[in-house]
Structure 1
Amino acid sequence: MNAISKSASMPLTPRELSALATLEERLLWLSSWTIHHANHVRPNRDGLKVGGHQASCASMTSLMTALYFHALRPQDRVAVKPHASPVFHAAQYMFGRQTRDQLERFRGLGGAQSYPSRTKDKDDVDFSTGSVGLGVAVTAFAALVQDYLAARGRIGADRMGRMIALLGDAELDEGNIYEALIETYKHDLRNIWWIVDYNRQSLDATTSERMWDRFDDIFETVGWDVLTLKYGKRQLEAFARPGGPALQAWIESCPNDLYAALSYQGASAWRARLMQDLPADGQALIASYDDIGLSNLMTQLGGHCLETLLEAFEQAAQNDRPKLFIAYTVKGWRLPFQGHKDNHSGLMTPTQIESLRDQLGIKPGQEWDAFSGLSQDMAEDVRALIAKAPFQDPRPRRFEPASVEIPASFDVPSGQSQSTQAAFGKILADIAKTESDFAARIVTTSPDVTVSTNLGGFVNRRGLFSRTTMKDVFKDLKIASPQIWTGSGGGQHIELGIAENNLFLNLAAFGLAGEHFGERLFPIGTLYDPFIARGLDALNYALYQNARFIVVSTPSGLTLGPEGGAHQSINTPLIGMGQPGLTHWEPAFADELALLMRHAFVDLQAPNGGCHYFRLSTRSLEQPARSQADWQSHALQGAYWLVPPGPGSGLAIAYAGALAPEALAGFEALREDYPDLGVLAVTSPDLLHRGWTQAGRARWTGAAGKTSHVETLLSALSPQAGLITLVDGSPATLSWLGSVRGQRVRALGVEEFGQTGDLPDLYRTYRLDSEAILDAAADLVL
């Protein structure tokens, strides 16, 4: 056991416990004051409610105090409950890692964020949270990354941490949590702690009575330890006194909404109700408490008792099995609206915040002073406790891994006719044959479509990742199969169940391996293109964190003819164009794909780089003979002239992806009447559009002389030229090209759900064939 672990397990002295309780009060105050300042003190120029969640913060302060100032180590990673963001920032402020300026600008431009953000907060956020449930589930996949690296000897025992999620009980309604939970069982994951703020209130109401004991069953079934922290020390002591069993039985049977209402009403309501319901010995017990003592007795549940929490964290640290902590709390504990069913977005009034300030001994005018009003001895004790906290160890928590050398070029797969999906598989299989550091750092993953997305060749050579050795029984029994499914700690493919949320969360976790663990990896995830929409929230979440990965979605579009409308994608190119941090590519040919894939791997490592999305096809196309010297540099910018137009041409066809044959067929049918006709191959509608809008903005801000790539390309045409755009997806993907130079456009694409059929029938029905191009040309020249 390393020194940090030892210090984390050492029990606190009574004096230190007193200092920890004082520290907990400071987190309550600073989180409450930060929200109050944003809403009531800072000037409000637009009149909108700034917001914040004082009640959600109050129910988490004890949990986060015990965690950050005693149990947490530098190698541990935490996803903070979104609405407890101010408590996190307050803890960082006490550590000296957050500034007053940031807190004063909470929920303002450049200030501490509404919800913890890796990319926008200036203190040390491990995982962005906000879209509830996703921040919880990603910790499971972070644990998988840790196991993956440990199995390769890339991280030692001293860097093995716990992947921790702090969550509200309402988050347990999110389905993605249970999808991830299944994967924790499949992959035998360890070192995961999910700590539930079980206040039994959601945004709209109190939660179901029926669920509290079901969570135990669900998690224990998949191999988790469940630690239920229902009662604090004061309550357990009361239960041991005469009348205590009756009080405990009353609490056990009390409905959630009644308990919340009595917590709001306070001591007099508690006393009246308990004196009414309890037998004589219970009534005598209640009578022995004054009002403050009775209120504390009934509301200081397990999640608010520091001693209970410290003991639970110490117990959990004894082994690496995954843990679910169900910590009972009162929402808004110690605030004027504790327990009120409407307290989710409630804000204390100026009078109420002043009362809290006085109660906690904060001096007026010293609201931001972390030690205001404390005696010299207590202030010294609190400072000593902070300095002693294992989390204060100076070891780095964010890493900057060295860049990995990428080959100067990728071999283009041979074959006169091939699909981009097949080419993708061949390119990866060729990389897998090498013994380079680059090849060793590629990690592939897929939601049960590994074979049908052409990852088979890579997996055959590099194997599945598994904590235990897994043989291919079919191979051992000499049953012929092109797939060799062997698993070991050295495997480089993560096989997932059919859950796209898990795919993107897994990509997020592996895409953060460099910053979290100091080891650069190149994650590649494959799925069917239409199902990007099913995991879109998780994809957006992964990109918001600036995780780096490649998404390969294939097959795509109406071109997936026999599969029918349920498997055909329409709006995914628009998703790719509209998603920040993601570059959408739609190559048509194998040499384009090899060029763009190599570029994507380089960009994954760039400080200002990003993620890449390849929309591929199973349609086999004749590969072109190249003659232009500059097509590669232009393709990397989003488009190139496959057939250059004549000077001042009055017509051009622009296409993306699998519809290249239709574009070329249209060209052949039109070239006699339009000898200067050009054909524009768009490799990235996204990059092309981004460059155009960026150039426009640059001119607005006085940056003269900036011309976008698409403007340069289209300048070869007459200003009055017509453009025919063609894409197997929404026509809006390319219809904007007419705005670049004011040229007329006829946009061909898919605007209805598809159906089964062969390609000639489907392309004719949905107007994607050469006849549609001829009709569009006739319309443009009228």
Structure 2
Amino acid sequence: MNAPLPAQSLANHAQDVIAELDDKVRWLSAWTIHNANHLRESRDGLKVGGHQASSASMATIMSALYFSVLQPEDRVAVKPHASPVFHAIQYLYGRQSLDQLQRFRSLGGAQSYPSRTKDKDDVDFSTGSVGLGVAMTAFASITQDYMIAHGALAPEKAGRMISLLGDAELDEGNIYECVIEGAKHDLRNCWWIVDYNRQSLDATTWDSMFLRFADIFQAVGWDVITLKYGRKLQAAFARKGGAELERWIDESPNDLYAALSFQGGAAWRARLMADIGDRPGVKALLASYDDDALAGLMTNLAGHDLGLLLDTFHAVKDERPKFFIVYTIKGFGLPFQGHKDNHSGLMTVAQMETFQKRNRVPEGREWDKFAGLPREAAEYEAFLAAAPFAGRKTERPEAPRIAVPGLAEFPRPSGKQSTQVAFGKILNDLARAGGELADAIVTTSPDVTVSTNLGGFVNQRGLFAREGRRDQFKDSNIASPQKWIMGPKGQHIELGIAENNLFLLLAALGLSGDLFGRRVMPVGTLYDPFINRGLDALNYACYQDARFLLVATPSGLTLAPEGGAHQSIHTPLIGMAQDKLSYFEPAYVDELSAIMRWAFGHMQDADGGSVYLRLSTRALEQPARELDEAQLVEGAYWEVEPAAGADLAVVYAGAVAPEAREAFELMLEDVPGAGLLAVPSPDRLHRGWTAGMGGTGSHVERLLSRLAPHAALVTVIDGPPATLSWLGGVLGHKVRALGLERFGQSGDVPDLYRAYRLDAEAILDAAAAALA
């Protein structure tokens, strides 16, 4: 019986195995890209791409993490351009198929950038729009803390939220908005690991930026850990002449270092001898390495030193956020390493043949998991099966469904009021009544909590913070309607004025079921025009299929005195165009109540999504009626049904309901039998129509079929006329579309509606023109 190996020997053995797997990861990622560009049939002649250089610079960092460091609870946002590395690692674990790799960047294959919804292997966070996946991990950590504080996640199940990012991503402004917010919320369990290869798509990056990054992140409470030199270089620095060599590298411009990395050992020797060869010990130090060894030494940066990475990552024991600046060479180990044009470069067929021989991969076995490695396949399989990451379940958790109150129990405020005010009352009533839905709701807003009518809910449910904080105004007996208790059980997460942060937090909260096994119901509010400021992050949240209720208010020209900067023009078209987001613009409270009730269910449906409400500050008298809620959520209903074969219908959405009704009633004498069509969701109505174009019919076709074939439609909305003008294409009716096509200005509603042709007179004029 063999004596057990000492711990150090076991550690050395594990490191050796990981190093061999790292070689395989680098090979598979490069081969996957090569296959897509050079071997797979190309029917359109377009370059497929795949970023071999960006993958190579990140490979060892990811190997260290996935083969040793990551625990099952950890979640990772992978650098977009390192997607092939991620897929290669998953393939070695048996969590990605050969077919997917062979179809990389083709329909149904592994995606160009990691995607939660499109990839078959388990992607934690979609990446691709640079910088957003980075910030997402911070908000996922805040979400994790919220889940722990509310008893939805055991503290021992807390994972690290890790972002792997390229240094060029640090140019993205949303990252710095995020770290400021993280400082407010006592961010923890978050690692950002920077692939500091000092090259972007266009060029080599500015020198000494690592100093600025370190300053910024230290200032907001992060531990900054800079890993620059591998252990071979550290050993060389300890020899005579080594201090001069270290000083030369430290002072070397990024572009010079990159160029020499591309040129190789002879070029390194010539330049070093010319610059510092006359200094004590340098000549002898350089002479102790042949050209290949010197090239290996000078490119021995920390990001390619597996042992250093493993020791560094495993040494972290505390929860403080960590910012790792890890020096790498872009394209490390590939023939174009360091070249300034290598970002989208591809190895030629001849270069790949050489690379294949260097990796000892037999021809015809390019896709074999362990071909060319020195051990038996069974040993690698056993090692991977025992790795901590292998303990992660392959299926995402299925969060229990949250019950939504029935129609009779769901709040429906009465009396003259705006949809914005009614929204706040509905949430406040839910909070007061309590129950499963109320307990699951978490609200958030970028410093507009009060002005978007969330104040009542926060008074009921409090602000979230990991530690309780006293309200000095309350303690000092200073009167305020905002009685906001701050502590771990609070259900509102307050944000600063940064819409990107709002959408990224909604994305993280909206993935709580998949990430942590328990669902929350996120509700986020902001001013409608400022959706534009966070639009990339909103698209990112929807692309991941995060589920949330977005309440944008106040909207449109109807926000009269605030002027053009605060009056949204085109947001309805955003709502209609955005996938996985259903846009509604209710005019009345009964519509709003039914939509919100539907939304809380839709956010949980397997084929559901998020919901966007465009609300108004305009107070309207509320009609006494019973709505057909099925028609409502399909997008439209006849407020006044037309006579069969009618010649005209007035169609409206949102706050212009009184003008539409007034014009409609005035025209009835001249056009008896006309109809008044309410469209609370142009989006749902349009999607139903396009989905039914195969001949199955649609809700809008059934509605409009009551009109004569030659009938006219006059559409009106406090938004782009294109929101409703498409209705003419359904059955070929003539359309006169009213709406906003110019920036607004300050005024009152009557003046602005008259100036921008949204009033009853404009509707009547449009009807007369349509019938002429």
Q: Which TM-score bucket, shorter chain as reference?
A: over 0.9
Once residues 478 and 392 of structure 2 are traced to their aligned partners in structure 1, the CA distance between those partners, rounded to angstroms, is 56
Secondary structure in 2 matching 1:325 = strand
SS of the residue aligned with 1:724? strand
Q: State the Cα distance separating 1:397 from its structure 2 match.
A: 6.1
Q: Check conservation: 1:552, 1:616, Cα contact below 8 A.
A: yes
The Cα shift of 1:346 comes to: 0.2
2:3 maps to what in 1?
Answer: none
Deviation >6 Å, runs of 4+ = none
1:776 aligns with 2:763: no
Deviation at 1:636, TM superposition (A): 1.5
Specify whether residues 12 and 136 from structure 1 end up closer, same or farther in structure 2 by C-alpha distance, changes over 3 A only: farther
CA shift for structure 1 position 440: 0.6
Contact between 1:74 and 1:397, CA under 8 Å: does it hold in 2? no
Residues 12 and 296 (structure 1 numbering): CA distance in 2 closer, same or farther, change over 3 Å? Answer: farther
Q: Which residue of 659, 663, 670 corresponds with 1:673?
A: 670
The reply to whether residue 236 of structure 1 matches residue 226 of structure 2 is no
What's the CA shift string for 1:315-336, capped at 9, x where partnerless? Answer: 22x1010000000000000100
Counterpart-to-counterpart distance in 2, 1:520 and 1:352? 50
Matches of 1:269 and 1:87, distance apart in 2: 30
TM-score normalised by structure 1 residue count = 0.96
Give 3-state SS (helix, strand or coil) of 1:457's partner: helix
- Which residue of the partner structure matches residue 391 of structure 1? 389
- 1:39–1:50 CA contact under 8 A, matched in 2: yes
Q: Residue 217 of structure 2 aligns with which residue?
A: 219
- SS of 2:332's equivalent in the other structure is coil
Aligned mates of 2:750, 2:30 — CA distance in 1: 65
The one of 610, 626, 631 equivalent to 2:628 is 631
Q: Which runs of 5+ in 1 are unaligned?
A: 1-8, 700-705
- Specify whether residues 396 and 106 from structure 1 end up closer, same or farther in structure 2 by C-alpha distance, changes over 3 A only: closer
Q: Partner of 2:436 in structure 1? A: 437
Residue identity opposite 1:763 in structure 2: Y
Q: Distance in 1 between matches of 2:410 and 2:528?
A: 25
Q: CA deviation at 1:479?
A: 1.6
CA distance in structure 2 between the partners assigned to 1:689 and 1:107 by the alignment: 31
- Distance in 2, Cα, partners of 1:438 & 1:496: 23
| Corresponding residue to 1:655 among 644, 652, 657 | 652
| Letter aligned with residue 554 of structure 1 | T
**1:730 alignment partner in structure 2:** 720
Partner of 2:200: 202
Look up the equivalent residue of 1:259 and give its one-letter code.
Y
Whether the aligned pair in 2 keeps the contact of 1:227 and 1:312 (CA below 8 Å) is no
CA distance in 1, matches of 2:482, 2:395: 40
Asked whether 1:714 is paired with 2:704, we answer yes
* Cα contact 1:89–1:103 (8 A) shared by 2: yes
1:640 to 637, 646, 650: 637
Instruction: Please tell me whether the aligned partners of residues 414 and 589 of structure 2 are also in contact (alpha carbons under 8 angstroms).
Output: no
Answering whether residue 307 of structure 2 is matched by residue 310 of structure 1, we say: no
**AA of the residue aligned to 1:447:** P
Q: How many angstroms does 1:382 deviate by?
A: 3.0
Partner in structure 1 of residue 686 of structure 2? 689
Give the structure 1 partner of residue 752 of structure 2. Answer: 762
Cα pair distance change 1:251/1:388, threshold 3 Å = same
Paired amino acid for 1:678: G
Partner residue of 1:79 out of 77, 94, 97: 77
Distance 1:553 1:717 in 2: 34
Distance 2:691 2:520 in 1: 30
Structure 2 equivalent of residue 257 of structure 1: 255
- Cα-to-partner distance string for 1:601-651 (whole Å, 9 max, x where unaligned): 01111100011000000000011121xx66322111101111111221101
Q: For residue 760 of structure 2, what is the amino acid of its counterpart?
A: S
Q: Supply the distance in 1 between the matched residues of 2:160 and 2:375 (Cα, whole angstroms).
A: 36
Q: Is the 1:738–1:745 Cα contact (8 Å) retained in structure 2?
A: yes
CA distance in 2, matches of 1:271, 1:415: 83
Q: Superposition RMSD on alpha carbons, in Å? A: 1.3
Distance 2:413 2:384 in 1: 63
Asked whether the equivalents of residues 31 and 366 of structure 2 are also in contact (C-alpha less than 8 Å), the reply is yes
Residue 601 of structure 2: aligned partner: 602
Q: Equivalent residue for 1:102?
A: 100
Q: Hey, what does 2:178 align to over in structure 1?
A: 180
**Is residue 65 from structure 1 mapped to residue 55 from structure 2 by the alignment?**
no
Residues 209 and 12 of structure 1, relative CA distance in 2, 3 Å threshold: farther
Task: Verify the 8 A CA contact 1:562 1:757 in the aligned structure 2.
Answer: yes
CA distance in 1: counterparts of 2:9 and 2:230, whole angstroms: 17
Contact 2:240 2:280 in 1 (8 A): no
Q: Judge conservation of contact 1:649–1:716 (CA < 8 Å) in 2.
A: yes
Deviations along 1:77-107, one digit per CA (max 9) or x if unpaired, are: 0000000000000000111111110000000
Whole-angstrom distance in 1 between the partners of 2:309 and 2:428: 50
**What's 2:334 paired with?**
335
In 1, are the aligned partners of 2:413 and 2:425 still within 8 Å (CA)? no
Alpha-carbon separation, structure 1, partners of 2:753 and 2:575: 23
Q: Is the 8 A contact 1:55 1:335 kept in 2?
A: yes
User: 1:501 maps to which residue?
Assistant: 500
Measured against aligned partners, the alpha-carbon deviations of 1:181-207 in whole angstroms (never above 9, x if no partner) come to: 111100001000000000000000011
Separation of aligned partners in 2, 1:537 and 1:375: 47
The percentage of counterpart residues that share the same residue type is: 62
Checking the alignment, whether the CA contact within 8 Å between 2:728 and 2:734 is kept in structure 1 is yes
Counterpart residue type for residue 299 of structure 2: T
Instruction: Give the Cα–Cα distance (whole angstroms) in 1 for the partners of residues 284 and 231 of structure 2.
Output: 20
Kindly provide the amino acid, as one letter, of the partner of residue 244 in structure 1. Answer: G
Spell out the pairing of 1:41-60 with structure 2 (5 A cutoff): 41-60=39-58
Residue 568 of structure 1 pairs with residue 558 of structure 2? no
**Partner of 1:477 in structure 2?**
476
Instruction: Quote how far apart the aligned CAs of 1:375 are.
Output: 3.4
CA distance in 2 between counterparts of 1:712 and 1:188 reads 55
Larger mean CA deviation between 346-355 and 464-473 belongs to 464-473
Whether the aligned pair in 2 keeps the contact of 1:412 and 1:590 (CA below 8 Å) is no
Could you give the per-residue CA deviations for residues 118-158 of structure 1, whole angstroms, max 9, x where no partner exists?
00100010000000000000000000011001112221133
CA distance in 1, matches of 2:660, 2:80: 49
- Mark the CA change 1:326 to 1:120 in structure 2 (over 3 Å): closer, same or farther: same
Q: Which residue of 2 aligns with 1:578?
A: 577
Tell me the residue number matched to 2:398.
400
1:154 aligns with 2:144: no
Using the alignment, how far apart are the partners of 1:536 and 1:573 within structure 2? 13
> What TM-score does the superposition give when structure 2 sets the normalisation length?
0.97
The amino acid of 2:309's aligned partner reads L
Between the aligned partners of 1:385 and 1:280, the Cα distance in structure 2 is 47
| Aligned partner letter, 1:224 | W
Secondary structure class of the residue paired with 1:236: helix
- Which whole-Å CA distance do the structure 2 matches of 1:396 and 1:437 have between them? 29
Task: Judge conservation of contact 2:525–2:553 (CA < 8 Å) in 1.
Answer: yes
Alpha-carbon offset, residue 16 of structure 1: 2.1
Counterpart contact for 1:397–1:516, Cα < 8 Å:
no
Work out the CA distance in 1 between the residues paired with 2:522 and 2:392.
Answer: 30
Tell me the alpha carbon deviations over residues 560-614 of structure 1, each in whole angstroms, 9 at most, x when there is no partner: 0100000000110000000000000000000100000000001111100011000
Aligned residues: 763
1:620 aligns with 2:610: no
User: Which amino acid is the alignment partner of residue 751 of structure 1?
Assistant: E
Instruction: Using the TM superposition, give the Cα deviation of residue 381 of structure 1 relative to its aligned residue in structure 2, in angstroms.
Output: 4.3
Give the AA of the match of 2:668: R
The answer as to whether partners of 2:302 and 2:327 remain within 8 angstroms in 1 is: yes
| Residue equivalent to 1:467 | 466
